[in-house]
């Protein structure tokens, strides 16, 4: 599929075997809830895009995100050292996204944020199937991490769902892939390949609900000799189709709807996550979190991303269960108005 938006101005919907070549949102026939056709300014204002790269391993946890919310560009990066409990984190907010650039080609191009001597860059390459994160901060922190979806072969989750009365969301998820590269920081220097780090990647864009919330869970690592990844959500990307899935050695296995049970006021306490079809039964114990609050009236966000360990079972249909025992991963609790 070369383009997500068809000639009639409507998106392709469904779960796709590969990413669209271009998220051509400007060709979308965007209407008000009452059916009035909306112009370029409304298309720009309501279109939002974000990309996330997560690092998971026993010796180092990390996350980096970039978001284009039209009126503001947002970025964050953090590193957590489990052995010492120490953490480095930085946040960036740029009015009107000045200093940012975002490609609308999920498998190719660059999304980046620059502020002073700080750079956050996420680069994707079609020819190699590689996703790369480059972070350079003015305190000397440097992250250069990458993985390939082709060596070994991996099937990403590529999905587009209708959203509310007049929107849509395209999302592309990867988890359970080995990561390579280098990290230099006040927490120490790390060779990601040598420490057995895994990666998670998320590329999402579209016309999301103006006021929404979601929960999300992801894990990546080795279990029973298998490369295991997991991506679950509740509250977004589940109208007609669902992004819920896990991967075993790169093979995508779909999962039904999921329930997140947790204490919103105490996110480091135990979470339980289970799927209606019985394929997922997990507990999550938080070790730390990155959180942000923003309330500008017209834009607001209450965001908690918790990193910690999962335990429980994955039960793929017709196969032996996969036991998860203390595998690192993320959960999120997000409210946003945009």
Question: pLDDT tens-digit profile of 90-138?
Answer: 999 999 999 999 999 999 999 999 999 999 999 999 999 999 999 999 9
User: What are residue 157's DSSP bridge partners?
Assistant: 173
Q: Is the pLDDT of residue 237 over 90?
A: no
pLDDT band at 187 (very low <50, low <70, confident <90, very high): very high
Three-state secondary-structure class, residue 160 = strand
**What's the pLDDT score for residue 259?**
97
**What's the pLDDT score for residue 55?**
98
Mean pLDDT across the stretch 23-49? 97
Mean pLDDT across the stretch 225-243? 94
CA distance 333 to 325: 23
**What's the pLDDT score for residue 296?**
81
CA distance 106 to 62: 22
The owner of tokens 């503001």 is 72
Three-state secondary-structure class, residue 170 = strand
Element (H, E) at 185: strand 180-185
Q: Nearest to residue 87, comparing CAs of 194, 188, 181, 193? A: 188
Matching CATH number, 14-337, of 1.10.580.10, 3.40.30.10, 2.40.370.10, 1.20.120.160: 2.40.370.10
Q: Is the pLDDT of residue 158 over 90?
A: yes
Please give the backbone phi and psi of residue 125, each rounded to the nearest 5 degrees, phi first: -130, 120
Please compute Rg for the chain using Cα positions.
19
pLDDT band at 151 (very low <50, low <70, confident <90, very high): confident
Mean pLDDT across the stretch 289-300? 89
Element (H, E) at 41: helix 40-46
**What's the pLDDT score for residue 294?**
85
CA distance 70 to 207: 12
CA distance 112 to 92: 12
Domain ranges of the chain: 14-337
Mean pLDDT across the stretch 25-35? 97
**What's the pLDDT score for residue 47?**
98
- Listed as own residue / partner, the contacts of 93-97 with beta carbons closer than 8 Å and 24 or more positions apart are 93/294, 95/71, 96/70, 96/71, 96/72, 97/68, 97/69, 97/70, 97/71, 97/72, 97/73
Mean pLDDT across the stretch 277-287? 98
Q: Is the pLDDT of residue 224 over 90?
A: yes
Q: Nearest to residue 217, comparing CAs of 174, 253, 260, 250? A: 260
User: What are residue 11's DSSP bridge partners?
Assistant: 5
CA distance 92 to 50: 14
Mean pLDDT across the stretch 199-228? 96
Q: Is the pLDDT of residue 298 over 90?
A: no
Contact (Cβ atoms closer than 8 angstroms) between residue 187 and residue 243? no
Mean pLDDT across the stretch 299-320? 96
Q: Is the pLDDT of residue 216 over 90?
A: yes
Q: Nearest to residue 123, comparing CAs of 135, 134, 115? A: 134
Q: Is the pLDDT of residue 299 over 90?
A: no
Please give the backbone phi and psi of residue 42, each rounded to the nearest 5 degrees, phi first: -65, -40
CA distance 196 to 147: 12
Q: Is the pLDDT of residue 236 over 90?
A: no
Q: Is the pLDDT of residue 167 over 90?
A: yes
Q: Is the pLDDT of residue 306 over 90?
A: yes
- Dihedral-angle region of residue 205 (phi above 0 means left; psi in -120 to 50 means alpha; beta otherwise): beta
Task: Tell me the CA distances in angstroms from 68 to 49, 62, 187, 301, one per residue in order.
Answer: 5, 21, 29, 14
């Amino acid at each position: 599929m070369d383009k997500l938006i068809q000639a009639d101005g409507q998106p392709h919907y469904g779960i796709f075997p590969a990413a669209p070549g271009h998220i051509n949102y400007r060709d979308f026939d965007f209407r008000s809830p009452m059916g009035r056709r909306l112009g370029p300014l409304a298309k720009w204002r309501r279109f939002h895009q974000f990309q996330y790269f997560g690092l998971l391993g026993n010796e180092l946890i990390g996350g980096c995100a970039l978001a284009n919310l039209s009126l503001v560009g947002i970025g964050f990066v953090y590193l957590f050292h489990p052995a010492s409990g120490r953490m480095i984190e930085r946040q960036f907010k740029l009015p009107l996204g000045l200093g940012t650039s975002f490609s609308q080609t999920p498998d190719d191009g660059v999304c980046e944020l620059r502020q002073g001597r700080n750079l956050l860059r996420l680069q994707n390459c079609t020819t190699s199937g590689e996703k790369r994160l480059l972070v350079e901060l003015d305190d000397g922190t440097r992250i250069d991490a990458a993985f390939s979806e082709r060596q070994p072969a991996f099937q990403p989750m590529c999905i587009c769902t209708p959203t509310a009365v007049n929107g849509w969301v395209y999302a592309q998820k990867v988890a359970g892939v080995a990561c390579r590269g280098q990290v230099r920081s006040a927490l120490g220097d790390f060779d990601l390949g040598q420490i057995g780090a895994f990666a998670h990647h998320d590329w999402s864009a579209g016309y999301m609900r103006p006021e929404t919330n979601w929960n999300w869970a992801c894990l990546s690592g080795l279990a029973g000799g298998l490369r295991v990844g997991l991506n679950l959500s509740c509250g977004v990307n589940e109208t007609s189709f669902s992004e819920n899935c896990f991967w075993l050695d790169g093979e995508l296995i779909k999962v039904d709807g999921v329930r997140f049970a947790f204490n919103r006021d105490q996110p480091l306490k135990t979470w339980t996550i289970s799927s209606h079809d019985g394929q997922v039964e997990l507990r999550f114990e938080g070790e730390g979190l990155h959180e942000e609050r923003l309330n500008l009236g017209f834009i607001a966000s209450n965001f908690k991303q918790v990193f910690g360990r999962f335990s429980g079972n994955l039960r793929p249909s017709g196969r032996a269960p996969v036991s998860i025992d203390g595998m690192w991963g993320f959960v999120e609790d997000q409210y946003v108005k945009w």
